[in-house]
Amino acid sequence: MFDVIIYAILIYVLTYVILFVFFDGDLETVFYEKFGKPIGHLRGKVVFVTGASSGIGEYTAVALAKYGVKLVLTARRKEELERVKKQCIEASKNQLSQNDVLVIPMDITDLSLHRKNWDYAVRHFGKVDILFNNAGRSQRALFETIDMGVDRQMFELNTFSVINLTRIAVNYFNSVGGGQVAVVSSLAGVIGVPFSSTYDATKHAVHGYYNALRAEKIGRGLSVSIVCPGPTSTNFLSESFTNTVGQKYGKSVQSTDRRLTAERCGHMCGIVLANKIRESWIALPPLIFFTYFAVYCPVFYNFILKTVGPERLFKARDSQELTLEEAYPSKRR
């Protein structure tokens, strides 16, 4: 019996090692991509997408449009939303008409607009089936130098706007007998990563809210999903907060950087929605492996962190060398 247990453990570990070497998602997500419901299972449903003008929001919208999913596209920049709308209609190959992709310009931090625009989408389509919260910004900053104004702005954008819109959606889904809410978090919402403490905190807070919501609604017709991408090829890095209010990080993602493509991330988000996956981790190897150790073997993770050091972890995350004097020229001494 002891030998059987040992062999079972070895097989389990080997399975995960193979997974982390060859795949870009956690075991559950990879399984559902191969054997679960395809994105086409969502055909005809209406998905409300925030932050749809670029990055993961844009490519998730396109991935859904390919399978005839109707879309509500929201973000601040109307011209970019119109560009994405055109892209979605073309990707649908005549499955979607102009009327099947609704553009709603909206500053997600203006909470007074949430109910108005949600109700507008419901009137337009007669329903909304899924809320996909994607809007948000990252951060690069040294903990002790961050102005509290940055903390407040980031929580308003990454956390409070998400929760306010989610509550509106949940109340609507309660009234119609069910629905689905999903949020794009980050691996930084699963573990603490260096040089983005406010961003980490906003994503950890979202996990707390969404995990509590899921616990309240089990068996009551509401599906709750959290998507946790690792480094992805979008414009997020240049738009990231720093330690100073009004300042952007300004560094560009390079084509040679080791990152998940936005197209791949958008496709995987579609898989998460189609299969109602509880929590999905998506990243190139070895970051999923690293995350598993951080969650399930924290002592070993701390050893790795001490051995590797925060600067190397930063390089693995952003594919860039970190020099604090260059990265944070306004650092207070």
243 in a structural domain? yes
pLDDT score of 258:
76
Q: How far apart are CA 301 and CA 263, in angstroms?
A: 30
311 in a structural domain? no
320 in a structural domain? no
pLDDT score of 101:
98
pLDDT score of 156:
98
Q: How far apart are CA 19 and CA 287, in angstroms?
A: 12
Condensed to tens digits (0 to 9), the pLDDT of residues 193-217 reads 889 999 999 999 999 999 999 999 9
Q: Which residues are catalytic?
A: 199
Condensed to tens digits (0 to 9), the pLDDT of residues 240-267 reads 999 999 999 988 776 667 788 999 999 9
Q: Which two tokens stand for residue 32?
A: 């559902």
290 in a structural domain? no
Q: Work out how many domains the chain is built from and give that number.
A: 1
Condensed to tens digits (0 to 9), the pLDDT of residues 70-116 reads 999 999 999 999 999 999 999 999 999 999 999 999 999 999 999 99
Of 39-48, 134-143, 153-162, 313-322, minimum mean pLDDT range: 313-322
Max CA-CA distance within the chain? 65
pLDDT score of 183:
98
Cβ–Cβ under 8 Å, residues 249 and 140: yes
Residue count of the chain, please give it: 333
Structural domain boundaries, residue 144: 26-283
Average pLDDT over residues 63-68: 98
Q: pLDDT-based confidence at 309, cuts 50/70/90?
A: confident
Find, among 79, 55, 86, 22, the residue nearest to 227 by Cα.
55
314 in a structural domain? no
Q: How far apart are CA 250 and CA 241, in angstroms?
A: 9
Q: What is the DSSP letter of 25?
A: B
Q: Which two tokens stand for residue 147?
A: 């102005």
Q: Which residue has the tokens 């699963």?
A: 190
**Alpha-carbon torsion (264, 267, 269, 272), positive or negative:** negative
Q: How far apart are CA 32 and CA 18, in angstroms?
A: 17
Q: How far apart are CA 173 and CA 157, in angstroms?
A: 23
128 in a structural domain? yes
Cβ–Cβ under 8 Å, residues 106 and 117: yes
Residue 280: exposure state from Cβ atoms within 10 A (0-12, 13-18, ≥19): buried
Q: pLDDT-based confidence at 332, cuts 50/70/90?
A: very low
pLDDT score of 21:
63
What pTM was estimated for this model as a whole?
A: 0.91
Q: How far apart are CA 283 and CA 281, in angstroms?
A: 7
Does 222 score more than 80 pLDDT?
yes
Q: Quote the distance between the C-alpha of residue 250 and its chain's center.
A: 21
Residue, of 170 and 11, whose pLDDT is higher = 170
Identify which of 5-14, 224-233, 271-280, 316-325 has the greatest average pLDDT. Answer: 271-280
332 in a structural domain? no
**HSE of 228, CA atoms in CB hemisphere, 13 A:** 25
Q: What is the CATH number of the domain that holds 33?
A: 3.40.50.720
Q: What is the DSSP letter of 139?
A: B
Express as a percent the part of the chain with pLDDT over 70.
Answer: 89
Please provide the DSSP assignment of 232-290 as one string. EESSHHHH-B-SSTT-B--PPPPTTS--EEHHHHHHHHHHHHHHT-SEEEE-STTHHHH
278 in a structural domain? yes
